[in-house]
Chains A and B, each alone.
Chain A
């Protein structure tokens, strides 16, 4: 492509990006206004610049506790999801047994099952039968399970792109199935691990519906639940809500920026064989 063409393309892309980002400008801009001003002039720059929305959000959302809970759930979910998901993905990629095909097929099918079908049963089983409501580890367990099909789907696809000769070589060197995986395969999975991690982490970090069913007490709330503090019956306190939201997504944004480079790498190898 010629240089002029590239420049034109750059400008076009930039314009599209600016249009894409308009809602975020509105979001950020309005966190510096009192709610009254936001309602009257949602698109103007702040007249009475204030940081009060941030202090209100931190105070009313019980922000630090909610941040801790969210981080706790997200980190553990991501770690276990990665471990179990990658092992299973590898296993399904290498051993094309009938039982594996059935299980994998069921995983895929469950990806299109509406969550509403099994959400109340989930609560009745885990919170009702086992009394595990307001237990963060319970939420981790469920989040791991809900994200497994997607993770296995990507891990399997990626592993299929790794030549099986590598396994053979390891076997000749005396490695068993388990050791081959941890010593040889897992290091090669790095890109896809990061991809899945980012996708799963984003989903878990922002999850409202599932965690709200289990976490009802003030000290177990996550950020996505705590933000509901600002919703009233027929309206919302928009300004502190947006401030709280912005604070809540900053860690994710940072995480995404760091992982971004690897994500692309990960999906490159993953999707093509998927």
Chain B
């Protein structure tokens, strides 16, 4: 009997070992112990590590700028060849960037360098290395740093400067104005509406909204918390007063100004028959084919436009005017958004890794090869002082021209101005409004309600 028991136990043991033990990797059979040891894992498991020699170090780079794997891998290869001894593990997010980031941190494999949205970096600044005073930060355009700075401390450096506004098809606009269309001639909301009327007179739809939450919620609505409110401090104060319930959106001129423009544009919407179909590829195709004259998007749209435009077509970016004041410089300025920044983790990486990570960040924001690749593939302006690279994308070029002429303003001004889920929550309200299911008072009330659940900035 005993023999039998023993053999049974052995058999089980063998099954278990086979389950977890065989194969290439370390730590066999550890999973069976999990039963006892998990309760202790409540304290966030921090690794205590010792510094390794800088010469040979493995770091990881997590990017949430998706669909550009080849570009990043080329850049990494170049970096590795210039920095022997540093090996960079490339990790790309899909469409689930926060979930993957959480999974990596939960695995104690927090990426050494992450390219994340500023709001996410801000929310987790306790994990991030402070850049303040480091030399490579001097290479960043000062105007681009405020989105990455909290309480005077720099935690990230921006990737690209994304221009947000109305994309236009020059041929369509030329035909409408009967000559060479000059984007700087649009100084007010009325000017824009005149242009729209002229475009429509040629039998082409004047403008186009892509009826999706991120475009309407994150890009259109957030303008109402932007430079039109005032300085960064004034913006924060304004948002805080909404959070506290002291101010109502509906009483605010800036909000109403942008919504007036929104209403005007909605009248000329290419997608008016079915405003929420919302597909960037379809809308890009419509703009390229001249089915509509303008499109509310941003210069990143070149990734959709680029492959389908024909030789010789010209495109550019127009600002969104929020008032009828021809002297308001904002009406002629493009909002540039520093949507993603590079941060270095200090909570799960050794000092040697952090040092190598800093090298990588410095490289990717200043090396000419990296800048060239970035400008070519992303087609956007780079907020780096030493960047001389030519941008091929006409949209990125347009943004760069606005920047060169000083006609830009910082979209958010501060990393934490708008919460990380505003695109989803308020984006839904904006979609509802675009579809004509709510009026402005209701929309404003819903946005107020959303803010009331947020913490003061």
Contacts and interface: CB of A to CB of B under 8 A. Distances in A.
Given A39-B285, A136-B23, A212-B100, A128 B106 contact: yes
Interface stretch (B62-70, B238-246, B448-456): B62-70
B41 interface: yes
Interface string A122-140: 0111111111110111101
B340 to A, nearest CB: 10
Interface string B32-50: 0010011001000100000
Interface stretch (B87-95, B221-229, B320-328, B396-404): B87-95
B45 A124 contact: yes
A222 to B, nearest CB: 13
B6 interface: no
Contact of A230 (B25, B31, B45, B67): B67
A217 B38 CA distance: 25
A39 B280 CA distance: 10
Contacts of B82: none
B19 A216 contact: no
Interface in B1-59: 4, 8, 15, 18-20, 22-23, 25-27, 30-31, 34, 37-38, 41, 45
B107 interface: yes
Contact of A128 (B70, B107, B285): B107
Contacts, number: 121
Contacts of A138: 20, 25, 31
B108 interface: yes
Given A35-B307, A232-B67, A137 B107 contact: no
Given A126-B31, A129-B37, A137 B92 contact: no
Interface stretch (A25-33, A47-55, A233-241, A247-255): A233-241
A126 B20 contact: no
Given A130-B34, A234-B212, 8 more contacts: A36-B285, A125-B41, A129-B37, A137-B20, A216-B109, A218-B90, A228-B94, A233-B95
B95 A141 contact: no
12 contacts: A84-B15, A121-B38, A125-B34, A126-B31, A128-B45, A144-B19, A178-B8, A214-B107, A218-B90, A232-B67, A233-B64, A233-B65
B304 interface: yes
A94 to B, nearest CB: 16
A176 B30 CA distance: 32
A125 B38 CA distance: 6
B445 interface: no
Contact of B31 (A39, A128, A130, A234): A130
Interface in A193-241: 212-214, 216-218, 225, 228-235, 237
Contacts of A213: 103
Contacts of A126: 31, 34
Contacts of A84: 15
A127 B108 contact: yes
A213 B214 CA distance: 25
A172 to B, nearest CB: 18
Interface residues of A, number: 46
A248 to B, nearest CB: 15
B300 to A, nearest CB: 8
Contact of A130 (B27, B69, B102): B27
A40 interface: yes
B214 A124 contact: no
Given A60-B69, A124-B41, A125-B41, A231 B95 contact: yes
Contacts of A44: none
Contacts of B4: 176
A97 B66 CA distance: 54
B27 A212 contact: no
A140 B27 CA distance: 15
Nearest to A233: B66
Pick from B27, B95, B103 the residue with the most CB of A within 10 Å. B103
Interface in B87-128: 89-92, 94-96, 100, 102-104, 106-109
Contacts of B177: none
A83 interface: yes
Nearest to B28: A137
Contacts of A127: 103, 106-109
Interface in A144-198: 144, 176, 178
Nearest to B4: A176
B113 to A, nearest CB: 15
Given A36-B308, A127-B108, A129-B41, A137 B15 contact: no
Contacts of B420: none
B281 interface: yes
Nearest to A176: B4
> 6 closest A-B pairs (Cβ-Cβ)?
A232-B67, A127-B107, A228-B94, A123-B106, A133-B107, A213-B103
B270 to A, nearest CB: 16
Nearest to A235: B280
A40 B24 CA distance: 48
B303 interface: yes
Pick from A40, A83, A233 the residue with the most CB of B within 10 Å. A233
Given A130-B31, A212-B100, A229-B69, A80 B109 contact: no
A120 interface: yes
B282 interface: yes
A212 B103 contact: yes
A83 B15 contact: yes
Nearest to A119: B103
Contacts of B37: 129
Contacts of A225: 94
Contacts of A232: 66-67, 303
